[in-house]
Structure 1
Amino acid sequence: MASLLPETLFEIVGEGPAPSKDYYQLLVTRSQVIFRWWKISLRSEYRSAKPGETKESHENFLENSHLQVQIALIFGARILDYVFHLCEGKFDFLERLSDNLLLNIISYLDLEDIASLSQTSRRFSKLCISDKLWEPIVQSACDNITPEMRALAEDMGWRQMFFANKLQLQRQLRKRKESQESERDSQV
């Protein structure tokens, strides 16, 4: 399964912690961890500083505490943990799936399961409230979606429309129709 992975498993760039303006790149490939840095300074002693690079095999990285500390300081403990997992061969294949494929999979879940999934990560939270997921759910639950209902759903969001009761929807449609009529009357 690991052979299906791209050559670059992970890449992140960032600026060092304040007051430093140094620039860093962390790249994890199938076989190496590559850490690059560029000194950015107005001080004369650093003007001629050349970019640096450290390359370690996955095994050597797991033993290199100095490099681990640098990565944690610049990119944070979560990134360091993620790089550790990659170096140990623990790949998160679910994270590598496209949003469209995940939305297709999520669309087969029950509503309770969608609510539970939305609490697992930021990415799943965004996917579980997206209109791309809820529009087909609403369309499968409704026999007939009028153009007015579609316009209302695009304004208020398909998820909110799904959970609104009929009375609320009728009220919203009536308000929308009245405001459109008053706009037409004011233009005439």
Structure 2
Amino acid sequence: MASLLPETLFEARGQAPAPSKDFYQVLVTRKEVIFRWWKISLRSEFRETKPGELRESHDDFLDDPSLQIQIAIVFGGSTLEHIFNMCRGNFDFLVRLPDAVLLYIVSYLDLEDIARLSQVSHRFETLCNSDKLWEMIVQNLTGKITPEMSSLANEVGWKQFFFTNKLQLQLQLHRRRQTARGSTSDDQLSD
């Protein structure tokens, strides 16, 4: 599973709380935590200040409360907690999976679980509302999708197609057939 991890695990950039204008960056790689800062000041004594960088191994970071406090001040407690988890080796491999694999897994969840999962992050919201997912769900439940059903689902959206009751679907399919017959008759009349 470690092979799924990129070299840079996490990156955040931000400005220190007011009145400071200083900029900061924190990077977490597989082996270390890198904290960088850029002092921004109009005061003459700080004009010549060069950007700074502090590099610590994961273990050293876990034992360095002063750096932890700086990160919490600039980036917030949730970011600090996230960095702690990475330094302790607690990675969320689920979010690193490709969309196709996640869609396959999600397609077997219960509807209530899909609704909850869509609230986890923007990525999962996008996946849980995607036409591809709902097409897979319809395919899993029905087994066979006719070209006519597929055409209607592509027109209205697969999620809408799934949640439309059977009578409404039959009515919509009937209307499509009537429209198709009407346009065929019109074509024959014009010939």
- TM-score, scaled relative to structure 2: 0.73
Post-superposition offset of 1:104: 1.9
1:152 and 2:187 are equivalent in the alignment: no
Q: Which residue of 1 aligns with 2:145?
A: 143
Post-superposition offset of 1:84: 0.4
**Pair 160,139 (structure 1): closer, same or farther in 2 beyond 3 Å:** same
| Higher alpha-carbon Rg | 2
1:40 and 2:57 are equivalent in the alignment: no
1:103 and 2:106 are equivalent in the alignment: no
Deviates more, 1:39-48 or 1:84-93: 39-48
State the number of aligned residues: 173
CA deviation vs aligned residue, 1:129-171 (integer Å, no higher than 9, x gap): 2222113323553632537614532xxx422331122455547
Q: Which residue of 1 aligns with 2:186?
A: none
- TM-score, scaled relative to structure 1: 0.74
User: What SS does the corresponding residue of 2:155 show, helix, strand or coil?
Assistant: helix
**Pair 159,51 (structure 1): closer, same or farther in 2 beyond 3 Å:** same
CA deviation vs aligned residue, 1:9-32 (integer Å, no higher than 9, x gap): 222222222343322111111221
Post-superposition offset of 1:68: 0.8
Deviates more, 1:123-132 or 1:100-109: 123-132
User: What SS does the corresponding residue of 1:74 show, helix, strand or coil?
Assistant: helix
Deviates more, 1:15-24 or 1:72-81: 15-24
CA-atom RMSD, angstroms?
3.0
Aligned mates of 1:131, 1:18 — CA distance in 2: 44
How is 1:11-50 mapped onto 2 (pairs within 5 angstroms)?
11-50=11-50
- Give unpaired runs (5+ residues) of structure 1: 178-188
Does structure 2 retain, via aligned residues, the 8 Å contact 1:25–1:35? Answer: yes
**Pair 125,48 (structure 1): closer, same or farther in 2 beyond 3 Å:** same
User: What SS does the corresponding residue of 1:48 show, helix, strand or coil?
Assistant: coil
Q: Which residue of 1 aligns with 2:63?
A: 63
Aligned mates of 1:104, 1:32 — CA distance in 2: 34
Aligned identity (percent) is 61
CA deviation vs aligned residue, 1:24-71 (integer Å, no higher than 9, x gap): 111111221100011233443333221111111111111111111111
**Pair 18,101 (structure 1): closer, same or farther in 2 beyond 3 Å:** farther
Aligned mates of 2:92, 2:151 — CA distance in 1: 43
- Give unpaired runs (5+ residues) of structure 2: 180-191
